[in-house]
Structures are given as C-alpha cells and as structure tokens.
C-alpha cells in the first residue's frame, strides 16, 4: 500500500495532536478519500518522518495524532546547488520536480539573455511560491525529509558573485566542452551546477561563468533539452560522487 506523506510547517513531536491546514485536509479528504483511523506520515523539514493517524475529520478539517518518529535523515554525501535558466510553461516545473527527486540541495532560477519570459515583481513572487510548492510535492513523493532551498529569481551575474565566494566545485554544462564529468576527478563535497534556458547561455555569459571559476563540462555528444539536462547532470554527479554509489 502506498505511503501517504504530507508536509506541514507545524512543529512535530511524538504524542502531539493537532489539526492539519485546510489544503492538506482537502487533499486527504476529497482526493485520497481517507477516513478516521487512516495512517499517514508527516514531515516538516527537520530531517525526520513522523508517523501518525487521523483521529477526527470534519467537512474541511482533519485532526491527527503522532505516535512515533523516524531517525534523522543523514546529510547528503554531495551537495548540489543548481543554477537553472528560467524556461517557460511546464518545462521549469518538470526540471524542478525531477531535480528534487534526484537529491538536489538547492535551486536558484536564473534570468539570462536567452530567457524567453519576462517577469514583473508580482509574477516573480507568484512563480517562486509555485516552484516551492512543486519542490515540496516532490519531497512528499520521493521520501525526502529535508526541503531543498528554492532561491530568489536572480540574474546570472548575481548568482555568479554568490557562488564565486563559496568553497566548491563549479561546473557549466555545455555540449561544446571537450571535458566530460567523469574526467574531472573528485568533485569535492559541494558542486555548483549552471545550466542555461532554451537556447543556452550566450558567449558572453559563458565567458562570465569561466571568469567566476566555472569549468565547462559535457554529458556526451548529444544536445539535451533544458528540462532534460538537469536530470542527466544531477544523476551523473550522484553516480560519480553522491548517494547513488554503494558504500565502500
């Protein structure tokens, strides 16, 4: 039977009883058709799962009780910070969803020269909140107990300044590069991964990235779509240096 996992911002502890927020209650009651006595798992990003069950339900409300908790999720072997050019439509949602499922630590949406959408201040705020919900849902589905960060929408220059100050390996995904990921040697504990939008990064932007310490790498001879590239790159990084590997 599929586990029902729900994210909540409430503090959680064994023995607690509380009402879920209205959105979660609607999902459990109207979509999943859950009844009192049904088991569910909750998490709030503190690194643990909390196991409980529904004890009461109204038309639009649910009260749950917490009976037990899991051990704490270990920090990732490899921390991957993704700077991703903003793409239109469902492509960005897909890239964020799957990147979270694959274990990315943080995602910063980037506006670049080839970004095909322009966002007002209000639309920026709305988009960012939407992407946070996409990431949260991906955590619920994939069993992650800690939420990845979804950063403010930044210009490429701003993000490069931030990453340039960090002690990490910085990689620019570029199909023109002569170096593949497996030729890099050990990437270290933290990787900054830069991937452009549809149309990629401009020559000037690639030069800026190189000047900020980013090394261009490819994933082989094929040109990947903007929503495919993050998935392939993150999976490759996890296989080479992250938690896709078995224990020593």
Whether residue 247 lies inside any domain: the answer is: no
Residue 49's CB is within 10 A of a number of other CB atoms, namely 20
Structural domain total, the chain: 2
Residues 123 and 168 in one domain: yes
Reference 42, options 173, 145, 154; nearest CA is 145
User: What is residue 167's predicted lDDT score, i.e. its pLDDT?
Assistant: 77
Whether residue 246 lies inside any domain: the answer is: no
Residues 93 and 117 in one domain: yes
Whether residue 117 lies inside any domain: the answer is: yes
3-state helix, strand, coil in the chain (%, to 5): 30, 25, 45
CA 3 to chain centre: 21
How much is the average pLDDT of 72-84? Answer: 94
Question: Helix (H, G, I), strand (E, B), or coil: what is residue 218?
Answer: strand
The span from the CA of 241 to the CA of 153, in Å, is 28
Whether residue 74 lies inside any domain: the answer is: no
How much is the average pLDDT of 73-91? Answer: 92
Whether residue 248 lies inside any domain: the answer is: no
CA 63 to chain centre: 29
The mean pLDDT value of the chain amounts to: 91
Q: For 98-119, write each residue's pLDDT tens digit.
A: 999 999 999 999 999 888 777 7
How much is the average pLDDT of 223-244? Answer: 94
2 confidence band (pLDDT: 50, 70, 90): low
Evaluate if residue 248 carries a pLDDT over 60: no
Residues 136 and 220 in one domain: yes
Residues 57 and 104 in one domain: no
Positive or negative, the Cα torsion across 28, 30, 36, 38? Answer: negative
Residues 197 and 235 in one domain: yes
**Crossing angle, helix 121-142 and helix 90-101, to 10 degrees?**
40
User: Percent of the chain at pLDDT above 70?
Assistant: 98
- Where does a domain end: 33, 51, 69? 69
User: What is residue 124's predicted lDDT score, i.e. its pLDDT?
Assistant: 84
Evaluate if residue 186 carries a pLDDT over 80: no
CB 163 within 8 A of CB 83: yes
The span from the CA of 9 to the CA of 101, in Å, is 20
Residues 144 and 211 in one domain: yes
Evaluate if residue 1 carries a pLDDT over 80: no
The secondary structure of residue 181, as a DSSP letter, is: G
Residues 65 and 84 in one domain: no
Q: For 4-54, write each residue's pLDDT tens digit.
A: 899 999 999 999 999 988 888 888 888 888 888 899 999 999 999 999 999
CB 105 within 8 A of CB 149: yes
How much is the average pLDDT of 117-129? Answer: 83
Task: Give the CA angle between residues 135, 76, 209 to the nearest 5°.
Answer: 75
Supply the range of the domain harboring residue 51.
5-69
Reference 109, options 150, 166, 148; nearest CA is 150
Whether residue 218 lies inside any domain: the answer is: yes
- How many residues are given for the chain? 248
- Where does a domain end: 22, 39, 69? 69
User: What is residue 157's predicted lDDT score, i.e. its pLDDT?
Assistant: 94
DSSP 193-207: EEE--TT---HHHHH
Residue 97's CB is within 10 A of a number of other CB atoms, namely 20
Tokens 């497996």 correspond to: 182
More confident residue, 199 or 138: 138
182 confidence band (pLDDT: 50, 70, 90): confident
User: What is residue 115's predicted lDDT score, i.e. its pLDDT?
Assistant: 80
How much is the average pLDDT of 228-237? Answer: 96
CATH number of the domain bearing residue 103 = 3.40.1280.10
User: What is residue 247's predicted lDDT score, i.e. its pLDDT?
Assistant: 59
Residues 28 and 131 in one domain: no
CB 220 within 8 A of CB 180: yes
User: What is residue 57's predicted lDDT score, i.e. its pLDDT?
Assistant: 83
User: What is residue 46's predicted lDDT score, i.e. its pLDDT?
Assistant: 95
């Amino acid at each position: 039977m599929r586990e029902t996992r729900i994210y909540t911002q409430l503090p959680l502890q064994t023995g607690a009883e509380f009402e879920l927020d209205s959105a979660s209650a609607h999902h459990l009651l109207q979509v999943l058709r859950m009844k009192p006595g049904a088991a569910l798992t909750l998490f709030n990003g503190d690194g643990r799962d909390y196991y409980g069950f529904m004890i009461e339900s109204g038309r639009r409300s649910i009260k749950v009780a917490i009976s037990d908790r899991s051990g704490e999720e270990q920090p990732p072997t490899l921390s991957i910070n993704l700077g991703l050019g903003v793409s239109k439509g469902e492509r960005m949602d897909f890239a964020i969803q799957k990147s979270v499922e694959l274990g990315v630590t943080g995602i910063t949406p980037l506006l670049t020269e080839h970004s095909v959408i322009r966002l007002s201040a209000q639309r920026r705020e709305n988009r960012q909140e939407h992407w946070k919900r996409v990431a949260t849902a991906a955590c619920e589905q994939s069993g992650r107990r800690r939420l990845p960060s979804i950063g403010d929408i930044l210009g490429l220059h701003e993000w490069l300044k931030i990453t340039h100050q960090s002690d990490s390996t910085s990689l620019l995904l570029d199909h023109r590069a002569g170096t593949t990921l497996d030729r890099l040697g050990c990437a270290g504990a933290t990787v900054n991964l830069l991937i452009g939008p549809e149309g990629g990064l401009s020559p000037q932007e690639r030069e800026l990235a190189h000047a900020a310490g980013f090394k261009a790498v490819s994933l082989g001879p094929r040109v990947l779509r903007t929503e495919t590239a993050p998935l392939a790159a993150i999976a490759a990084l996890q296989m080479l240096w992250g938690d896709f590997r078995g224990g020593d």
